[in-house]
Structure 1
Amino acid sequence: MKKLMVSGALALALSTSALVAEESGGFVGVDLGLASLTKMTMIPVGQDVGLSINSLGNLRYRLVGGYKWFFTQNVGLRAYVAVNNGASYGGVGQFNSLFVNANVDFLNTFYNSEQVSAGWFAGVSLGAGIHSGGIVSQYTGTNGQFSNLSNISGFDLGINLGLRTLFGKHHGVEFFTRFGALGASATGENGGVAIADLNTNQIYNAGIRYTYNF
């Protein structure tokens, strides 16, 4: 009788665990965070090169949507599209930056209970950064004049890291960080001659995200 009761309790525990484990499915979300954007401009000055670096902090928001697959109770993957937008303000005026990225994250859950699960994620983010606005929008010097150099777009590569929780199987809260690896670049020209190079990279973006899991 005792063995039967133990077996029944174990079976009930396993079935409950399976019931509350995170499942595969679609999700949407929104996040809010702070970011650091760096713009580096190199301009030839005679035999030397003039270097200007602007580091900009700004408030950013992002919309995400995608699908997650769980292969075991604790291991999964997710793929999603993210649109990240924000603007910086300063003595140079307003500088806008928009990122559109496809993301793939590895998911690992290290804690499960009847109501809450918690874990971490790590992944890669690929897409494009589109920038416009007030820094180095025009330059006049001994090498000529160019304009609108800051209105550039280009390849964007980053690394995703963070912690994630799920409440009641549908509501998720995440603390995320994205580190930029490669950013958009452009060349300013005058009469077909390159006179300046510019690189824009979002060094990091960190904040909090809410997801609704279907």
Structure 2
Amino acid sequence: MKNLSKSVFLSVAVASALAASAVAEQNGVFLGAEVGYGGASVEDRSNYDERPMTQAPRSTPTLKYNGGGVKYGIIAGYKQFFTPYLGLRYYASLSAMHASLSTSQIEGEWKNVSATMINYGANVDFLGNFIAQENLDFGGFVGLGIGGTSWLGKNINDYQKLVDGYGYGWKLSKNSFDVALNVGLRANIAKNHGVEIVARVPFLPTKLIDKSRTEPYNVGADTYLATATRKDSLHHPYSITARYTFSF
């Protein structure tokens, strides 16, 4: 009788495990593509100031330009589930955004800006399913991405020419380190097909330039100071995209 009870218990345990594996989202490699909208902003703190040496320096005005544009990208990685409801995924991402920014302010060098942002990195997301069925899994995710950002375009090159006009040898830093939060909702349909709504929030701006130079000169018996300041940054504060994935 004791052996019979043990056999029944083992049978139930094996049947439960098989049932769980039947409905669980499968581990494996996946590829994906996404498209949506991304925000962008420019912060301009550039100024040229001439003043007597005895006079305190004037503050540099800060101008901000906001905008955004279409963002699209691809991802590739691996997902693994520890239970039908909990898992992790690891993936590489590559995206581009074509941003347009404008301002009604008449000061500053950035009147209307068009630039392309390239973002690339490695990501880890924690996956949680609210529903786990044979042909449908639905849940959310939250994770972290680490990589880099590069800004390209005619306006960026034109601004480099403007900076070259100072003759100080200043160069723009078009590339920067990137850290971002990934969060969203996801569904896995018919085992192989996934659809997601993704929000990505990068934390670090790209500091294009952060330079200042002061040179004295004399006018009669008075000494004047000429100060050139260039402090400009580009930022991609958020994006919202729709994503499709295929699991192998």
| TM-score interval (norm. to shorter) | 0.7 to 0.9
Kindly indicate whether residue 81 of structure 2 is the aligned counterpart of residue 70 of structure 1.
yes
Counterpart contact for 1:16–1:114, Cα < 8 Å: no
TM-score by length of 1: 0.83
Matched, 1:178 2:212: no
1:158 is aligned to 180
How far has the Cα of 1:121 moved from its partner?
Answer: 0.3
Which stretch of the first structure deviates more once superposed, 78-87 or 126-135?
126-135
Instruction: Find the aligned partners of 1:189 and 1:67 in 2 and give their Cα distance.
Output: 43
Q: Which amino acid aligns with 1:195?
A: T
SS of equivalent residue, structure 1 residue 18: helix
2:45 is the alignment partner of 1:42:
yes
Structure 1 residue 15, shift from structure 2 partner: 3.2
Match of 1:104 in 2: 124
Q: Aligned partners of 2:41, 2:101: CA distance in 1, in Å?
A: 14
8 Å CA contact 2:48, 2:228 repeated in 1: no
User: Which of 141, 144, 156 is the equivalent residue of 1:121?
Assistant: 141
Letter in 1 for 2:32: G
Shift in Å at residue 206 of structure 1? 0.4
Distance 1:49 1:23 in 2: 57
Choose from 17, 21, 41 the match for 1:18: 21
Q: For 1:71-92, what per-residue CA distance to the aligned partner results, in whole angstroms no more than 9, with x for missing partners?
A: 1221111111111102124663
Change in CA separation of 1:147 and 1:89 when aligned onto 2, cut-off 3 Å: farther
Deviations 1:190-211 (A, max 9, x none): 8899731222221110021000
Q: 1:208 to 1:128 in 2, by over 3 A?
A: same
Instruction: Identify which range, 178-187 or 201-210, moves more after superposition.
Output: 178-187
Structure 1 regions of 5+ residues with no counterpart? Answer: 1-7
Across the two proteins, how many residue pairs are aligned to each other? 207
Aligned CA-pair RMSD = 3.3
- Correspondence list, 1:128-139, <5 A: 128-133=148-153, 134=155, 137=159
Considering fraction of residues, name the structure with more helix.
2
Aligned counterparts, 1:87-98, within 5 A: 87-89=98-100, 92=112, 94-98=114-118
Report if aligned partners of 1:32, 1:60 keep a CA contact under 8 Å in 2. yes
1:167 to 180, 189, 192: 189
Partner in structure 1 of residue 95 of structure 2: 84
Deviation at 1:13, TM superposition (A): 7.2
Deviation at 1:139, TM superposition (A): 8.0
Q: Alignment identity in percent?
A: 26
The aligned residue for residue 61 of structure 1 is 72
Summarize the Cα distance change of 1:78–1:51 in structure 2 as closer, same or farther, 3 Å threshold. same
Which moves more between the two structures, 190-199 or 154-163? 190-199
Moved more, 181-190 or 153-162: 181-190
Q: Deviations over 1:158-191 (max 9, x none)?
A: 1000001001110000011001111221326588
C-alpha displacement of 1:68? 1.1
CA distance in 2, matches of 1:55, 1:122: 27
Match of 1:5 in 2: none
Higher share in strand: 1
1:206 aligns to what?
Answer: 240
Q: TM-score, normalised by structure 2?
A: 0.72
Larger radius of gyration: 2
Q: Which runs of 5+ in 2 are unaligned?
A: 1-10, 50-56, 103-111, 215-226
Q: Distance in 2 between matches of 1:26 and 1:182?
A: 30
Task: Check whether the contact 2:187–2:194 (CA below 8 A) recurs between aligned residues.
Answer: yes
Q: Residues 171, 58 of structure 1: CA spacing in aligned structure 2 closer, same or farther, 3 A cutoff?
A: same
